[in-house]
């Protein structure tokens, strides 16, 4: 065994081997049943997504519903139009550890900015609704890797100077039937 082997240990552990972040703005066009007079409200709901690693990036694919409440017929009637949007975002891995020793990877994606409406307007022709949405993801790739640790040459272990011999001596004087002798004295 070489001197280096006696002073270090290799530990196999799971660690974050890749990280990335992506902010995205997207524009969606919705065709309502009637030509809108004005926009009364816009909500992005039912967001669902999944992620998987593909090469040097993580692909986050998902969907959400855009609901727009609008007026029509010269602001005399209202209606809500809903549109399902599917998306696929490529999140580049800016931090990468090439020392992964396993192909069994776990991908974690978090939406740091849930999809939400930035702006909702009527197009120039007056027959469609244009919605700008923002979203942001942070991704982490977890895999097995080796960590090399250096050993303390003196083998120092700090047990807070605890004296096991003193504890054993004190425990030897304890009467194991103490609970039954106390109950007999009370009677």
- Tens digits of residue pLDDT in 42-90: 999 999 999 999 988 999 999 999 999 999 999 999 999 999 999 999 9
Tokens found for residue 147: 């960590």
Q: Which helix (H) or strand (E) holds 186?
A: helix 178-186
Q: Say if 48 falls within a structural domain.
A: yes
- pLDDT attached to residue 176: 63
Identify which has the larger pLDDT, 79 or 179.
79
Its domain, for residue 32, covers: 3-150
Kindly state whether residue 171 falls inside one of the protein's structural domains: no
80 within some domain: yes
* 25 within some domain: yes
Number of structural domains the chain divides into: 1
> 159 lies in a domain?
no
For residue 179, pLDDT beyond 70? no
Report the half-sphere exposure of 15 (CA within 13 A, side-chain side). Answer: 14
pTM of the shown model: 0.71
- The four Cα atoms 125, 128, 132, 133 give a dihedral, to 10 degrees, of -170
Write the DSSP string, 130-184: EEEEEEEEEEEEEEEEEEEEEPPTT-----TT--HHHHHHHHHTS-TTHHHHHHH
- Quick check: is 156 in a domain? no
The reply to whether 49 falls in a domain is: yes
Residue 169 lies in a domain: no
Say whether pLDDT at 141 is over 90. yes
- Cα-Cα end-to-end distance for the chain: 69
DSSP 127: S
């Amino acid at each position: 065994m070489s001197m280096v082997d006696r002073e270090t240990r290799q530990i196999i552990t799971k660690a974050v081997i890749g990280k990335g972040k992506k902010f995205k703005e997207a524009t969606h066009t919705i065709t309502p049943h009637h030509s809108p007079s004005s926009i009364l409200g816009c909500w992005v709901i039912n967001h669902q997504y999944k992620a998987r690693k593909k090469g040097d990036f993580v692909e986050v694919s998902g969907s959400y519903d855009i609901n727009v409440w609008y007026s029509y017929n010269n602001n005399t009637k209202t209606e809500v139009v809903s549109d399902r949007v599917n998306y696929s975002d490529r999140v580049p891995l800016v931090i990468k550890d090439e020392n992964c020793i396993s192909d069994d990877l776990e991908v974690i994606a978090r939406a740091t900015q849930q999809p939400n409406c930035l702006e909702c307007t009527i197009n120039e022709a007056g027959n469609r609704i244009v919605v700008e949405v923002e979203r942001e993801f942070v991704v982490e790739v977890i895999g097995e890797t080796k960590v090399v640790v250096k050993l303390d040459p003196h083998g120092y272990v700090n047990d807070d100077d605890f004296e096991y011999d003193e504890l054993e001596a004190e425990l030897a004087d304890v009467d194991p039937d103490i609970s039954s002798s106390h109950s007999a004295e009370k009677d």
